[in-house]
Amino acid sequence: MIFRQTFDSTSSTYTYIIASRSGGEALIIDPVLEKTDQYLRLLDQLDLRLVKVIDTHIHADHISGISELKDRTKCITIMGEHAPADVVSMKVKDNEKIKIEGIELISIYTPGHTDDSYSFIMNDRVFTGDTLLIKGTGRTDFQNGNPYDQYNSLFDRLLKLDDKTLIYPAHDYKGEMVSTIGEEKKYNPRLQVSSPQEYAKIMNNLNLANPKMMDIAVPLNKGESISEENQKKLIKELNISEDLEKKIKDRWNKKI
């Protein structure tokens, strides 16, 4: 199997490229728009053909690369059925199989961080999006997030997997790349709770600032349009690079 984990330092996002063999079909999970050229170079170097790309949920801290990858490779874009995004060509339900040559993933509906969050199991590993992080869990205070839903997603779904199951999250802010279900049960401070109420109290008192890119990323990732006046205002406030500004404008122009 070919398995590559790439990292976007700006948003601390992990992206995963998966294939069963060189020269075969490939799948990408949680791509970042600015890294599209990097993914395509790596696919070319590995002699892989991208056929499917997945977002685990509507991201608020970066602009997804799924639309760009679809435009440039004609791949199938996938999210869970609860996602509002109109950019995806395929929506999956809980416990649905996603297949490419030699690879099979199973979707798990794991709401809580957002109401459209899904995780994906592949043999000995699980891609947890922002639901379960390494020694943490995703915030629950925007995009219809709910700490009680997340508690259920964690304790009734993900933590029921075998302790040896590898965890590959969508983000990490401390330099860790992989964990296991067993490690998280023992060492994740947010999982050392005895009730949903105790977990909700922790999550409801995090008092985190909104992600810097949220006002741009969420509407773009949902496939929504935004006025030209607001575009200019947001781009100026964020002081983003010329390259990203061009990509953002290109994506918005396609919504009009």
Query: Where are the chain's structural domains?
Result: 2-255
Per residue in 32-70, pLDDT (tens digit) is 999 999 999 999 999 999 999 999 999 999 999 999 999
> Considering only CA atoms, which of 82, 56, 77, 84 is closest in space to residue 223?
84
Q: What is the pLDDT of residue 187?
A: 98
The CATH code that applies to domain 2-255 is 3.60.15.10
User: Is the per-residue pLDDT at 251 higher than 80?
Assistant: no
Q: Which amino acid does the sequence have at 235? A: I
Q: Is the pTM of this model over 0.85?
A: yes
Cα distance between residue 181 and residue 201, in whole Å: 23
> Considering only CA atoms, which of 33, 51, 38, 119 is closest in space to residue 89?
51
DSSP classification of residue 32: B
Specify burial of residue 4 (Cβ count, 10 A radius: 0-12, 13-18, 19+).
middle
Q: What is the pLDDT of residue 212?
A: 87
